[in-house]
Amino acid sequence: MLKSFFAWWHHLLNPHCQFCIDEAQDKLVCQSCEILKNQLNISNIEKERLLRKLLDTPVEVTSVRDEELKPILPKMVPWNVRKQMLESEDREKAKLMRKAQKDSPNQSSSPNPSIEELEKELGVDESNAAS
């Protein structure tokens, strides 16, 4: 209380002394703002150094082949799209199977041979099977 009285008395007698002017200016300056300004300056200096370093180092340019690039597919595929993909794959497999069947002359005309044909191939007689 005594200190505030002396400060008031000093301000009353010497309102424009250098000490009072400095004290008033210090009250106007926000300490947290000053800290933030200093941190911003430090950050800007670091960014500038990094930019200079990146610009000074030579970079090797490598070309990317188009063959290596694959489209990024979504992880979750809707059922309609998945169904269409499966159906098209099955059509291709069926087409390849029909083509392979037409090309190979060794196979019989039916895809599933009858029991008699299998017995003939294996050499099984009906007389042996009965006994």
Total domain count for the chain?
Answer: 1
Q: Is the pTM of this model over 0.75?
A: no
Which residue type is seen at 90?
D
In a domain, 43, yes or no: yes
In a domain, 4, yes or no: no
Q: What are phi and psi of 120, to 5 degrees?
A: -65, -40
In a domain, 24, yes or no: no
State the Rg of the chain over Cα: 46
pLDDT number for residue 68:
73
pLDDT number for residue 111:
61
Dist CA 7 CA 39 (whole Å): 35
Q: Per-residue pLDDT tens, the chain, 131 aa: give them.
A: 666 777 777 777 776 787 777 777 777 778 888 899 999 999 999 999 999 999 998 878 777 676 777 778 778 888 999 999 999 999 999 999 999 888 876 654 556 778 888 888 888 876 555 55
In a domain, 88, yes or no: no
In a domain, 116, yes or no: no
Pair 20, 11: CB distance under 8 Å: yes
Closest CA to 54 of 64, 62, 46, 66: 46
- Domain of residue 41: give its range: 30-56
pLDDT number for residue 110:
57
In a domain, 82, yes or no: no
In a domain, 51, yes or no: yes
In a domain, 37, yes or no: yes
Q: Which two tokens stand for residue 88?
A: 């098209």
Burial class from Cβ neighbours inside 10 Å (0-12, 13-18, 19+) for residue 42 reads exposed
- Token look-up 């200190």 returns 3
